[in-house]
Chains A and B, each alone.
Chain A
């Protein structure tokens, strides 16, 4: 059996997009003289992922992440280029491939909205033609691992987004996919639920050897779930590197947002190496911390010692900033 899970050569996708000037006159002109332009969504991507790898496919909105994943799952036909997923060409052997892969689209649910998740489990078992005994055992295992017991009999429309996403991901594991595509699985979720979902996917990779290919615009998904990161921007690959290296070189900054109990006065910030005041307004301020120069713990304890705090959050820099940094450092 080949050790390669997926491979692409010059994979590209363009869409014809209609341009229209603003207003009614623009609409009328467009009616008689429509103007189309080619929008390149994915530009000659060469990629190789080995079986068992956990790859984060990152990029800001509109970078081409979802389009790439849709070509690799056979949903979209490419404009040019080749791709092989588990030895099959996705858009030519879609059905055969679909039996062996799983896909979770953060914004496209496969759960029946008005029915409890247990009914979708039944339907999915038929879609993947699982033997009844095998299905029941697998379902029991997933319910246990994903802690779905309390939600199984509640209509999906009544579940929270986090509960629904847990069900979505559990359902996608039902047929034991060899390769799991996750398209923005943590979009809109709070930090606790995000963390739980990352743990569950990680466990599936460890226990069942599932290859994970994940798109996200959240750097945290990459840091905690993946061993390799591929950053895509304007449809092309900007960086392909181990996550450890990226953490060292690019993700060494954290953003701390504070809400003080009284107004912030300029010049009262503790003097900490590598800490920079990004913005302040009334009681709110935002700091950037360079972890190469100072640890996050010492910054937090210095802030707590100096100010009375109403609220504090520590975040990764936004993906746009990471991309800018990668550009700045020459990829």
Chain B
């Protein structure tokens, strides 16, 4: 096959993958809509649940208006970026925190038998209904206390992108351990809960070793510092580091998943999609 043929084939496949992703999201949304009441209730409850947390923070900041340079509006934007980023990632790639059970349950067979990138296919095959509530919550908080300029809007969008991708990268890495350690569902779920929890507290309340860990081993700091380093006092050094960490996590996750596929053992559990 000539180089031109190869390039044309690759371009066709890239376009094909994009079309596949769009159809996948359409099908996921249709699947979620099958249970309309559940869809609206779950999304609505998550929206309210997030506001409850903000209510508690507002009580705290009523007594201590500024903590280590953070005000209530910064914490509100932290929740907007964190919940919003988690929300879009969980809507578009809803399996990102379910990789461990999928791998250890031997449910990759159908994905592996079809001609699409396995990791992307797995990630995009589920849409979390509650995540729509998280995402809308993020937008609502931005509308309430965010900076309503073009630059502010773009920085908020970048924050959502970085936050969602970091959540995905961390959980792809944690989930891919299932290829190597068997049933690592518990570990993955522990990583998930800790990471979500750490990303909802202002990065500046942590000191010394804890802070180092927050920007290295458990990089939740790159999400929880976004309201300051990206949104309030733009710091290009921090933004580049956050972008670098995002790329690193996604690349490491993809490589680990790819390496893990060689060790995949399948299984005999009955599996359904959607």
Give the CA-CA distance A66 to B113 in the complex, in Å: 13
Does residue A272 face the partner (Cβ distance < 8 Å to B)?
Answer: no
Does residue B109 face the partner (Cβ distance < 8 Å to A)?
Answer: yes
Residues of B within 8 A of A155 (CB): 34
Chain A CB within 10 Å — which of B116, B262, B268, B273 has the most? B273
Quote the shortest CB–CB distance from A81 to chain B (angstroms). 15
Give the CA-CA distance A188 to B146 in the complex, in Å: 58
Does residue B256 face the partner (Cβ distance < 8 Å to A)?
Answer: no
Supposing A114-B31, A119-B30 touch, asked if A75 and B109 sit within 8 A by C-beta, the answer is yes
Is the Cβ of B268 less than 8 Å from the Cβ of A115?
Answer: no
Does residue B187 face the partner (Cβ distance < 8 Å to A)?
Answer: no
Is the Cβ of B13 less than 8 Å from the Cβ of A129?
Answer: yes
Count B interface residues, CB 8 Å: 36
Return the chain A residue nearest B268 by Cβ. A107
Is the Cβ of B113 less than 8 Å from the Cβ of A103?
Answer: yes
Q: Which of B114, B271, B272 contacts A98 (CB 8 A)?
A: B114
Supposing A112-B274, A113-B273 touch, asked if A74 and B112 sit within 8 A by C-beta, the answer is yes
Does residue A95 face the partner (Cβ distance < 8 Å to B)?
Answer: yes
Residues of B within 8 A of A66 (CB): 266, 268
A88-126 CB contact bits vs B (8 Å, 1 = yes)? 000100111011010101011111111100011011001
Does residue A228 face the partner (Cβ distance < 8 Å to B)?
Answer: no
Does residue A77 face the partner (Cβ distance < 8 Å to B)?
Answer: yes
B 5-38 contacts with A by CB, 8 A: 12-13, 16, 19-20, 22-24, 27, 30-31, 34-35
Supposing A129-B16, A155-B34 touch, asked if A112 and B27 sit within 8 A by C-beta, the answer is yes
Is the Cβ of B113 less than 8 Å from the Cβ of A98?
Answer: yes
Is the Cβ of A127 less than 8 Å from the Cβ of B262?
Answer: no
Give the CA-CA distance A75 to B13 in the complex, in Å: 21
Residues of B within 8 A of A28 (CB): none
Does residue B107 face the partner (Cβ distance < 8 Å to A)?
Answer: yes
Give the CA-CA distance A115 to B30 in the complex, in Å: 8
Taking Cβ atoms with an 8 Å cutoff, the residues of A that contact B are: 15, 66-67, 70, 73-77, 91, 94-96, 98-99, 101, 103, 105, 107-115, 119-120, 122-123, 126-129, 155-156
Taking Cβ atoms with an 8 Å cutoff, the residues of B that contact A are: 12-13, 16, 19-20, 22-24, 27, 30-31, 34-35, 107-110, 112-117, 261-266, 268-274
4 A-B pairs closest in CB distance: A112-B274, A98-B115, A129-B16, A126-B20
